[in-house]
Amino acid sequence: MKPLDSWRPEPGPSARESTSLIIALAVAAIGCALGLNGFHKAGAIGDELYIVALFFVIAVPLGAIFAVVQERRAYRRARNCIGRMPRLYRVHTDWPPAGGLHKGGDRVSRTLGRRRRMRK
């Protein structure tokens, strides 16, 4: 079996790209909302259609903005995790318990539990 290389995430979008995309989406939403407002004032669309269209015009870019922010956070988290050592478990020092198992074989002595808490 071929050994795996170290895992490196792709470099993801830069902060400038993400910010420009967020600004573009916000400006597009504002422009569409102003256009809908103009149509509503002119009487081309009714009240119910205006409200529904306005919610749609605001919600779609807002969802895309949230997705861009979440993607940026995910890339930042992945970049911060590179080079960290995984948590090492101390199985070889914690097991078998020094006091042994009690009668039923399901409980460890209380003194061993106290020693473990004091070590941490």
Which residue, chain included where needed, has tokens 């259609």? 49
Q: How far apart are CA 99 and CA 109, in angstroms?
A: 6
Mean residue pLDDT across the chain: 78
Distances (CA, A) of 48 to 30, 36, 39, 54, 60: 19, 12, 13, 10, 19
- pLDDT at 25 (0 to 100): 94
Separation of alpha carbons 93 and 95, rounded Å: 6
Residues 8 and 4: their CA atoms lie apart, in Å, by 12
Burial class (CB in 10 A: 0-12, 13-18, 19+), 38: exposed
Residue 109 and residue 99 in contact, taking contact as beta carbons nearer than 8 Å: yes
pLDDT tens digits along 6-39: 666 677 778 898 899 999 999 999 999 999 999 9
C-alpha 69/C-alpha 23 separation (Å) is 12
pLDDT for 79 equals: 75
Tens of pLDDT along the chain (120 residues) come to: 666 666 666 777 788 988 999 999 999 999 999 999 999 999 999 999 999 999 999 999 999 999 999 988 888 887 777 766 666 666 556 566 655 555 555 555 555 555 555 555
Q: What is the pLDDT of residue 116?
A: 56
Per-residue confidence (pLDDT) for residue 27, from 0 to 100: 95
